[in-house]
Amino acid sequence: MHASGAAGASLGDLQAISPAIPAPFIDKEYLGVRVARNGKIMNTQTSFGADRLALLLISLAALPLQAADISATDTIIVTATRNEISIDDAIVPVRVITREDIELSLATDLSELLRFEAGIDIGRNGGAGQATSVFMHGTESNHTLVLIDGVRINPGTIGGAAFQHIAPEIVERVEIVKGARSSLFGTDAIGGVINIITRDADSPYLEAGIGGGSFATQAGHVSGGSNGEMGEFGATLNWQRTDGFAPRVESDIERGYDNLSANVFGSTMLGGSEVSLRHWRAEGNVEYLDFFLSPVDQDYENSATALQIDTVFSEHGNSKLIISHIVDQIQQVQSPDFVESDRITLDWQYSHALDKHTLSGGLYYVDENAQSQSFGSGFDENTEVRALFLQDQVSFDRHRAFVAVRLTDHETFGDETTWNAEYAIDLNADWTLSAGLGRAFRAPDASDRYGFGGNPELQPEISDNAQIGLRYSAGNRHRFDVEIYANDLEDLIDFDLTTFSLVNVDEAEIRGAQIGYEYGGDSYTVRTEILLQQADNTTTGARLLRRAERSANLAFTKNIGDHRIGVSVHASGDREDFGATILDSYVVANLTGQIQLGRDWQLNARIENLFDENYETAANFRMQELSGFVELKYRWK
């Protein structure tokens, strides 16, 4: 099973149904929309690690640099407002990971991309394929909504989305929106939204790559697409396998992983509508160690299929209808235990542009089935959700505003109203001041209500969120931003040992500030961010688990003729984990490079954990040591 957390992490964070020990005694941590095409720093674990970081930064500073354009005005996003806008017009903090970023990173899964983003903490139970939790802006790991091409993929059973199974090779770009967004997307969007937009074909292309590296890792992919008068179509197939390393500090048993992912897409014009169909699927096997350190494994399947119909009614009005189906399934190999989510969703939106307003409204319907069997007991439950949402984007002179409200009728707990109210003013040509308030919620999942210790009377977890931002953009070279955020959560779900059931008992208070600066462009870019954060359970007085109070990131890329190098550094303060365990601070860095071999061939390489840092993001689970990966890629375009 996937996992996440109440006082900090979830039922398991094991991503697996362990056949060896009942769920109550496992670690407790409750486990898109396409864009327009044009669219105090902590002490390190040792001073030696800090010295290496300083030397690395000095070496980067000594490279010959040439200033260039980092203008973002041509970047079109949709996740912040459900409508296409320039990223410069977004009031809330938005970060976009581009296809160029993805290719240079040589990341093996989505979580490897996200861990170098400010405001995101990763908790991982070892290496490739192991259970992975993402904590955004200090909230719980099941408080982040994850979309693939407009489709919610968070499972209806325990936990968050399976980031560890999403292959970057299928991804065109990732939009990260920080802060409450339940008024736009419904349940789970308390900490923010991660929108994964899969690859398309602006022009005909064919790409193939094969690679290998440490831990007997092998990978390969083929991708291609075309467009023309009849429409657009394409497909990506990605394969990965590894023997892995020993994920548990108490054992030397290595555990492997394999993943076969496919993404296909096609679109055409029918009458006055553009009709598109997309399908993503990942399947494979994860080996891991259970509570007693016995080697076990599980098969998994994740898929999302979406039929989208975009209709332009007039110069000012357009409609978007998405009919989708997702499957999230885990089957234990050593026992009949399993979990499965099966969800059908209808999401319809109509938008109408006026002189200074863009009005939008729509309807949302979900029919979900969740099943589970664990230790001879389980559930098979259907849930229906209906929602109505309205919103308005306002823009005049130096002012921008966004208001949205959503009325949700949930079959189990009844009605919930969520909203956002945001405002931004351009103080002058360079400075923008923004502020926003929002109310969000997370509906109890089927495991919360009907699993072991479940409580059908559970109420939703509620969040009241506030953000203030200041952004500076001087010409097309400098960008500086400050974000201050606060989140008060109530009715958090936790396990009550007196009643041996789940109850709404906890409250949490999160306060944070982030400073970021970017400079560069065509020849090079430098991006650095520092985050200070306090996330506490106000009911118990304890720190929320697996979230650092201090962190910093540095990303540097440099073009050298047709070649490219990149360095990504993440420094994390200490964290608390289950059993009052303190996880040490650490600095981890990756070095990546691309060497162009003629017009169509490219040699790519990555050195992971450049300092060979010994660190943990989840107690007693190793992270990857110094290792490497090399890929040979062919691309015709």
Model pLDDT, residue 166: 97
Domains of the chain are: 23-31+85-211+233-636 (2.40.170.20)
> Mean pLDDT across the stretch 135-148?
96
Evaluate whether 42 touches 551 at the Cβ level (below 8 Å): yes
R_g over Cα of the chain: 23
Model pLDDT, residue 69: 52
Cα 212 to Cα 604: distance, rounded to the nearest angstrom = 11
Q: Which amino acid is at 137?
A: H
Evaluate whether 318 touches 350 at the Cβ level (below 8 Å): yes
pLDDT tens-digit map of 396-438: 999 999 999 999 999 888 899 999 999 999 999 999 999 999 9
pLDDT tens-digit map of 576-604: 999 889 999 999 999 999 999 999 999 99
* Degrees to nearest 5, angle at CA 223 with 218 and 229: 175
Model pLDDT, residue 229: 86
Would you say how long the chain is, in residues?
Answer: 637
3-state SS record for 301-344? EEEEEEEEEEEECCCCEEEEEEEEEEEEEEEECCCCCEEEEEEE
> Which residues are within 8 A (CB) of 144 and not within 5 positions of it... i.e. 6 or more apart?
134, 135, 136, 160, 161, 188, 189, 190, 191, 192, 193, 194
Cα 239 to Cα 421: distance, rounded to the nearest angstrom = 44
Tokens of 2: 């996937």
Model pLDDT, residue 498: 83
3-class SS at 27?
coil
Cα 525 to Cα 161: distance, rounded to the nearest angstrom = 31
Question: At 88, phi and psi to the nearest 5?
Answer: -70, -20
pLDDT confidence bin for 49, thresholds 50/70/90 = very low
* Degrees to nearest 5, angle at CA 81 with 570 and 188: 60
Asked if the model's pLDDT at residue 50 lies above 80, the reply is no
pLDDT confidence bin for 441, thresholds 50/70/90 = very high
Model pLDDT, residue 63: 46
pLDDT tens-digit map of 209-250: 999 999 999 999 999 999 988 899 999 999 999 999 999 999
Model pLDDT, residue 579: 87
pLDDT tens-digit map of 5-22: 333 444 334 333 333 333
Q: How far is CA 6 from the centre of its chain?
A: 19
Tokens of 278: 């997309």
Model pLDDT, residue 73: 52
The DSSP element (H or E) to which 626 belongs, if any, is: none
Tokens of 501: 């059931």
Evaluate whether 585 touches 617 at the Cβ level (below 8 Å): no
Measure Cα distances from 334 to 19, 298, 337, 375 in Å.
Answer: 7, 8, 8, 12
Question: At 589, phi and psi to the nearest 5?
Answer: -135, 145
Evaluate whether 319 touches 313 at the Cβ level (below 8 Å): yes
> Mean pLDDT across the stretch 439-445?
95
Model pLDDT, residue 41: 32
Model pLDDT, residue 375: 81
Cα 413 to Cα 423: distance, rounded to the nearest angstrom = 32
Beta bridge partners, 212, equal 218, 630
State what percent of residues in the chain have pLDDT above 90. Answer: 79
Evaluate whether 506 touches 539 at the Cβ level (below 8 Å): yes
pLDDT tens-digit map of 305-353: 999 999 999 989 999 999 999 999 999 999 999 999 999 999 999 999 9
> Which residues are within 8 A (CB) of 294 and not within 5 positions of it... i.e. 6 or more apart?
20
Asked if the model's pLDDT at residue 24 lies above 50, the reply is no
pLDDT confidence bin for 89, thresholds 50/70/90 = very high
Q: Mean pLDDT over all residues of the chain? A: 88
Lowest-pLDDT choice from 39-53, 303-317, 344-358, 535-549 = 39-53
Provide the Cα torsion 106, 110, 115, 118; round to 10°. Answer: 110
Cα 101 to Cα 113: distance, rounded to the nearest angstrom = 9
